[in-house]
Amino acid sequence: MTEKKKVDIPDALDEEYYQINMDILESFSKYRPPLDLFRFMEDVARIVSFCRGGERLTNEQVESLAQLVEEGLIFVSRADHPIYVKHISYQLDLVLVDKNLHETEVADIFTQALTRRLAEFFDQPVPLVLVRLWTDIMVLTEYLFKDIHRIRALTRRLHTVHSLENHSFNSGIMGLAIHTKFKAQQYEAGDIKRKFFDHLAVGLFLHDLGMSKVPNFIRVKDKGLTQDERGKLQRHTQIGYEMLAKLDLKFLEVEECVTDHHERITGTGYPQRKMGGAVGEVGRVCALADSYCAMTVKRVYAEAMEPMKAAAALVQDPGYDAELSRHLQALLVMTGKHKQTTENPPK
Ligand SMILES: [Fe+2]
Ligand SMILES: [Fe+2]
Give the residues across from 18 on adjacent strands: 76
In a domain, 279, yes or no: yes
Alpha helices (runs of H) in the chain, residue ranges in sequence order:
11-16, 22-27, 59-70, 81-89, 94-97, 103-123, 127-146, 151-155, 164-182, 184-188, 194-206, 216-221, 227-234, 236-246, 252-260, 281-295, 307-316, 322-334
State the distance from the centre of ligand 1 to the C-alpha of 150, rounded, in angstroms: 27
Does 346 fall in a domain?
no
pLDDT beneath 70: ranges in the chain: 1-9, 222, 338-347
Asked if 333 and 307 count as a contact pair (C-beta separation under 8 A), the reply is no
**pLDDT value at position 12?**
72
CATH of the domain at 293: 1.10.3210.10
How many beta carbons lie within 10 A of that of residue 96, not counting itself? 13
Q: Which ligand is nearest to the CA of 171?
A: 2
pTM across the whole model: 0.88
Same domain, yes or no: 77 and 200: no
Q: Is residue 216 part of a domain?
A: yes
214 lies in the same domain as 313: yes
Q: Three-state DSSP class for 199?
A: helix
Do residue 157 and residue 283 come from a single domain?
yes
Same domain, 175 and 220: yes
- Mention every residue, 6+ apart, whose C-beta is less than 8 A from residue 115: 159, 165, 166, 169
- Ligand closest to 237 (CA) is 1
Same domain as 173, residue 64: no
- Helix 281-295 vs helix 194-206: crossing angle, to nearest 10: 40
Cα(276) to ligand 1 centroid in Å equals 19
In angstroms, what is the span from residue 177 Cα to ligand 1's centroid?
A: 19
The one-letter amino acid code at 75 reads: F
Distance, in Å, from the CA atom of 110 to the CA atom of 140, rounded to the nearest integer, reads: 7
Task: Give 38 Cα–ligand 2 centroid separation in angstroms.
Answer: 45
First to last CA, the chain: 42
Domain boundary among 53, 83, 113: 83
Q: Ligand 2 mean position to 257 CA, how many Å?
A: 10
What is the Å distance from ligand 1's center to 307 Cα?
A: 20
280 CA distance to ligand 1 middle (Å): 17
Predicted pLDDT at 2: 39
∠50-11-106 over CA atoms, to 5°? 75
- pLDDT tens for 191-249 read 999 999 999 999 999 999 999 999 888 887 767 788 999 999 999 999 999 999 999 99
What is residue 217's predicted lDDT score, i.e. its pLDDT?
83
For ligand 1, the distance from its centroid to the CA atom of residue 120, given in whole angstroms, is 19
Q: In the chain, how many domains are there?
A: 2
Q: From the CA of 261, how far away is ligand 2's center (Å)? A: 8
User: Which ligand has an atom closest to residue 289 CA?
Assistant: 2
Q: How far is the CA of 255 from the centre of ligand 2 (A)?
A: 14
- Structural domain including 198 reads 102-339
How many Å lie between the centroid of ligand 2 and the Cα of residue 333?
23
pLDDT on residue 84: 85
Burial of residue 86 (CB within 10 Å: 0-12, 13-18, 19+) is middle
Q: CA–CA separation, 197 vs 174, rounded Å?
A: 14
Residues 274 and 140 grouped into a single domain: yes
DSSP code per residue over 219-234: HHH-TT--HHHHHHHH
Verify that 240 and 295 share a domain, yes or no: yes
> Considering the domain boundaries, does residue 2 fall inside one?
no
* pLDDT tens-digit map of 121-138: 999 999 999 999 999 999
Centre of ligand 1 from the C-alpha of residue 168, in Å: 10
State in Å: Cα 237 to ligand 1 middle.
7
Ligand 2 centroid vs 35 CA: distance in angstroms? Answer: 38
Nearest ligand to residue 167 Cα = 2
Distance 260 CA to ligand 1 centre (A): 9
pLDDT of residue 34: 92
Q: Examine residue 255 and state whether it is found in any structural domain, yes or no.
A: yes
Query: From the CA of 279, how far away is ligand 2's center (Å)?
Result: 16
Ligand 1 center–CA 261 separation, angstroms? 6
Ligand number, closest to the Cα atom of 236: 1
Examine residue 95 and state whether it is found in any structural domain, yes or no.
no
Pick from 135, 194, 204: nearest CA to 170: 204
Chain centroid to CA 289: 14
Residue 330 Cα to ligand 1 middle (Å)? 25
Say yes or no: 225 and 313 in one domain.
yes
